[in-house]
Copies of this chain bind each other. A is one copy, B any other.
Amino acid sequence: MSQFFYICSMDVKEILEQGNNSFLPNLSIDMVIIGYKGNVLKCLLLKIGKNWLLPGGYIRLDQSVDEAAQNILKQRTGLENSHLKFLSVFGEKNRQFKKVMKEFFEKTGMEWTEDYWFNNRFVSLAYYSLVNIDKTHPSVSHFDEAFAWFDFDELPEMWMDHKSIVNTARQRLKEDIRNEQMTYNLLPKEFTMPELYQLHQVILEKKIERSRFQKKMLSTGLFERLPELQKTTPGRNPYQYRVKIDL
Contacts and interface: CB of A to CB of B under 8 A. Distances in A.
Contact of A125 (B59, B66, B89): B89
Given A24-B123, A123-B59, A64 B86 contact: no
Given A25-B26, A26-B26, A64 B93 contact: yes
A63 interface: yes
A91 B65 CA distance: 5
B67 A93 contact: yes
Given A24-B26, A25-B26, A26-B26, A123 B65 contact: yes
A27 interface: yes
Interface residues of A, number: 21
Chain copies in complex: 2
Nearest to A67: B93
A92 interface: yes
A163 interface: no
A180 interface: no
Given A26-B26, A89-B89, A61 B121 contact: yes
Contacts of A89: 65, 86, 89, 125
A20 to B, nearest CB: 11
Q: For A59, A91, A92, A121, which residue has the most chain B Cβ atoms within 10 angstroms?
A: A91
Interface in A132-173: none
A81 B94 CA distance: 22
Interface in A40-96: 59, 61-67, 86, 88-89, 91-93
Interface of A: 24-27, 59, 61-67, 86, 88-89, 91-93, 121, 123, 125
